Structure formats: structure tokens, C-alpha cells
Amino acid sequence: MFVDEVRIFVKAGRGGDGVSSFRREKYVPHGGPDGGDGGDGGSVVMVASRRLTTLLDLRYQQQYQAKGGGPGQGSNRHGRTAPDIMIQVPIGTVIVDDETGELLADLTREEQSCIVACGGRGGRGNARFATSTNRVPTRFEPGAPGEERWLRLELKLLADVGLVGFPNAGKSTLIAAVSSAHPKIADYPFTTLTPNLGVVPWGNDHSFVVADIPGLIEGAHEGKGLGLQFLRHIERTSFLLHLVDISEWASEDPVTSFEVLRKELASYDASLKAKPFAVVGTKLDIKGNEQRLEQLRAYCKKRRLRFFAVSSVTREGLAALVSFVGKQVERVPCATTS
């Protein structure tokens, strides 16, 4: 199951109490304060890992609490420092304080970490308060409480290229044709229920990562369909491909379909509309009398938009598309290495 948003509670450990103690040993004529410090409480730490691709584990375990530090003891013995709790999350996880909305971390690299709840500091024992004028201090400190908070975790896939389009526009078929990904493909709406990632080789030793996003429908930015839930996954992409069905069986006008796609992206996040993109007419092998193909081609030419017509079944036009996209990705910061 693909899970890309969860809410969890984290609580760091309390610091151990300091202690008030005095040295009493045989043959030691001048005793003194020897109360040790308490140990620090354990912290809660998030760590990014390539081994995970979903937040599923955190859905089933939503409470995380670190242990408290040990209390100080006599003879200047300090309490034990509690171990930190390490929570592994997929690369691309955004961590937000659920109450304040504060962004705590955006983990985009392997083993990148963030302390989301700091352990309490151990209290000082009375030995710390001895001075030349106060040789018999009885004062000591209790341990400080650890931080606790509710967190909202969102997973945003790291991909260079995002495929966007209406259901049955051919996104899954395209990603299967140009990469080793094997998404579910069928002839009914919303075949893709979760995002798919594929690595596309091009040139001699180059590659880029493409994300297949579940189909949008008009009104997706208002919560209709599946698109809104997954639009966050194209926020990191550096390049977009707008896929439009140009087959003779398509029910929607190709120009209208493209314009609605652009409108939905802008309504969700204005920055998505500013991303560089190209238009891809799909299902070229069943284009019929080419009326829909020429209509979309003329529209793109008039507005100086880069247009490609492809068939994922016969592979017509795929080589040119992959080469073009690969060069575009190299010109902008790569999402998968940011």
C-alpha cells in the first residue's frame, strides 16, 4: 500500500534528576558535596533512507517516545544518557509541526537527519554548586522535560520529470515503454491509483527519473478525483510532460483537455504553471483521420509550445521525446540529487 501522508506523535525523554550527596569515607577528614548530574533524555530523530518508498509503517505505529535519562548518584556518578530513537522515513519526506504549521525538515538526501523532539537536559547535582563561600551546598536540579509534539509527514517523490494528464491519456503505458517500470495498465479510468517512478536511460550513460501521477480531472484542485492527493509529487520535478489523447476514440477535444490541465495545475500551485514543459500527443497509432493530431499541433505551433506525437505501442516518436527531455533535465537542477 502506498501511503504518502501520516500524522504521528513524538515525545523525547525527560532528563534525569541531579542528586544532593556528601562524601563520607573513612580516613577522609574533609568530606564534601559529591552529587552527580542526571543523564540527558533521549531525542527523537528522523532519518531519510532509500530502502523505504512509503510512509506505511508510520501509519500503524503513530506514537514514539524516547527513554528518560538516569538520575545522578553520589561519588560524582552521573546518570546514564538515554539513547535516541531513530525513525526511518523515505527520501523526499517533509516534516511539519502539526499545531503551528512550522516546516521542521525536508529530507532529500540519503541519511539526512533531523531532531524533531529534543531530549531534556539532565539536572545538575549539588557538587556543581560548590564554591569557596558555599562549601556545603544542598541545592540540586531536577531534569528538564523532553519536547513533545504532533507531526505531519508528507512524502513528495523525487523525480526529474512529471507526467500529467487526464485518465487514460497513456501515462502508464508511456512510462512502461521508456523505462523498466511496470505500472498497472488497463482500459478504464483511474488505472493508476498510486504514483509510479521509472528510470529512463538516454544517450550513452545518462538517465533521468520520471513520475507517473494518477490522472487529473476538471476540478481536481477542489478535491475531485485522485489528482489532488498526488499533485504534491510533481512539486519537485524540474520538467513536466502534458499528455493529451489524440486518438480517434477520445471523447474530449485535445485543445480543451490541455487548457484544463494547465488550469488545474495553476489552481493547485501557481509555481507548477511556471515549470518548463512540453506537450505530448499520445496514441499516435490510432490517430484516425489525424484531425485531432493536427488540431493540437497547430495550437502548440501558434503558441510556440514544444510538441511531440508518440505511440507507446509502436514506439514511434519515443526516441526523439526521450532525447529532448534528457537535455532539458540537464539544464536545470536535478530533483533526484537536490
Dihedral pair phi/psi, residue 302, rounded to 5°: -65, -35
Which pLDDT does position 221 carry in this prediction? 46
If one compares 95 and 132, the residue with the highest pLDDT of the two is 95
pLDDT category, 182, cuts 50, 70, 90? low
Q: Hey, what long-range contacts does 335-338 have (CB within 8 A, 24 or more apart)?
A: 335/158, 335/159, 335/160, 335/209, 335/236, 335/237, 335/238, 336/158, 336/159, 336/160, 336/208, 336/209, 338/108, 338/158, 338/236
What does the mean pLDDT of the chain come to?
86
Instruction: Identify the CATH class of 161-337.
Output: alpha beta
Distances (CA, A) of 48 to 26, 89, 115, 165, 305: 55, 5, 12, 30, 38
Asked if pLDDT for residue 282 goes beyond 80, the answer is yes
pLDDT digits (tens, 9 = 90+) for 106-128: 999 999 999 999 999 999 999 99
Which pLDDT does position 235 carry in this prediction? 81
pLDDT digits (tens, 9 = 90+) for 56-85: 889 889 999 999 999 999 989 999 999 999
CA 271/CA 23 separation, integer angstroms: 67
pLDDT category, 243, cuts 50, 70, 90? very high
CA 23/CA 125 separation, integer angstroms: 13
Which pLDDT does position 113 carry in this prediction? 96
If one compares 275 and 221, the residue with the highest pLDDT of the two is 275
Q: Assess whether the region 5-155 and the region 161-337 belong to the same CATH fold.
A: no
If one compares 65 and 329, the residue with the highest pLDDT of the two is 65
Average pLDDT over residues 323-332: 87
Which pLDDT does position 208 carry in this prediction? 87
Q: Where are the domains of the chain?
A: 5-155, 161-337
Q: So what's the architecture of 5-155 in CATH? A: Distorted Sandwich (2.70)
Which pLDDT does position 273 carry in this prediction? 81
pLDDT category, 188, cuts 50, 70, 90? very low
For the chain, report the end-to-end CA distance as a whole number of angstroms.
Answer: 27
Asked if pLDDT for residue 296 goes beyond 90, the answer is yes
Alpha helices (H) in the chain, listed in sequence order: 56-60, 171-178, 227-230, 254-268, 270-273, 291-302, 318-331
Average pLDDT over residues 238-242: 91
Which pLDDT does position 13 carry in this prediction? 97
Asked if pLDDT for residue 326 goes beyond 80, the answer is yes
Is residue 115 within 8 A of residue 55, CB to CB? The reply is no
pLDDT digits (tens, 9 = 90+) for 129-177: 999 888 889 999 999 999 999 999 998 877 889 888 888 788 888 888 8
Asked if pLDDT for residue 327 goes beyond 80, the answer is yes
pLDDT category, 267, cuts 50, 70, 90? confident
Asked if pLDDT for residue 262 goes beyond 70, the answer is yes
pLDDT digits (tens, 9 = 90+) for 22-43: 987 777 667 789 999 999 999 9
